[in-house]
Amino acid sequence: MNESHLILGVDIGGTTIKAAVVDTRKGTLTTDVLRAKTPQPATPKGVVAAIGELTKKLKWHGPVGVGFPGLIKHGVVRRAPNLDPSWVRHEIVEHLRRALGVSYVAVGNDADAAGLAEARFGAGRGVRGTVVLVTLGTGIGSAVLHNGSLLPDTELGHLEVGGQDAEKFASTVARKRNKWTWEQWGKNVDRYLTTLEYMLAPDLFIIGGGVSSDPEQFFRYLENVEAKIVPATMGNDAGIVGAALFAVHGVKALARKRKRNAT
């Protein structure tokens, strides 16, 4: 049986690392979600070892896709604002490939992963035009899609609005740290989304991260945004499913190459 559509998805978060095997055709999980605490400090060695443990527990040797909370270019970490600074310039793909001993590894941004998953299987399914997903968590992540295709690595959580990094006033961590009410914070999110709307004119905003399960607390304060706004619908699974999707293209290319070499 050809099982090349089964890929292990790993979501690296600031507090938890989650992993499950994903059916990338259906966008569903075929195993339970296994969790490990993100080691503190969250160094490359510690995080990769934790992913290794999860992979081992799942007895997985197939392809792996990883969602990382920072910017990665050509397999190398450029920025990881919410993890240990030693990640910067780290060759994450090579490290994981060596440490996990699996057939294939792909790594991308965590919010891009959530955006891809929501666009294909969740709140953005079938939506034409421009879709912007923002995850309002420890940091703010962004994914920009047009007719289902991702423009990767947009990093719009660090957009300066009124001279301030958006992450400092519109993330969930900022709400908790400053003990803002939902209304105070909701108005900040409104200001952030209005700025994004001015730049990108999306047809749909999807709000992801833990707050996607609390839309009744703050959606009513998003009153200056003209585009439709909906909560993400895949919850925690979005990051895992989308991470697995990162590996689909590479796995197919590898299979083609093997076939060519065999003939």
C-beta closer to ligand BGC: residue 88 or 99: 88
CB 47 → ligand BGC: shortest distance, Å?
14
C-beta closer to ligand BGC: residue 136 or 251: 136
CB 72 → ligand BGC: shortest distance, Å?
9
C-beta closer to ligand BGC: residue 6 or 140: 140
Give the other-Cβ count within 10 Å of 68's Cβ: 23
C-beta closer to ligand BGC: residue 157 or 202: 157
* Measured distance CA(258)–CA(30) in Å, rounded: 26
Residue 32 DSSP class:
P
CB 102 within 8 A of CB 55: yes
**Pick from 35, 37, 31, 36: nearest CA to 59:** 31
User: Given the rule CB under 6 A, which residues bind ligand BGC?
Assistant: 69-71, 79, 81-82, 109-111, 135, 137, 139-141, 155, 157-158, 167
CB 139 → ligand BGC: shortest distance, Å?
2
**Pick from 248, 257, 263: nearest CA to 4:** 248
Structure-derived torsion over alpha carbons of residues 181, 185, 190, 191, reported in degrees to the nearest 10: 130
CB 53 → ligand BGC: shortest distance, Å?
22
CB 141 → ligand BGC: shortest distance, Å?
3
Query: Residue 204: phi, psi to the nearest 5?
Result: -150, 135
C-beta closer to ligand BGC: residue 141 or 202: 141
Residue 91 DSSP class:
B
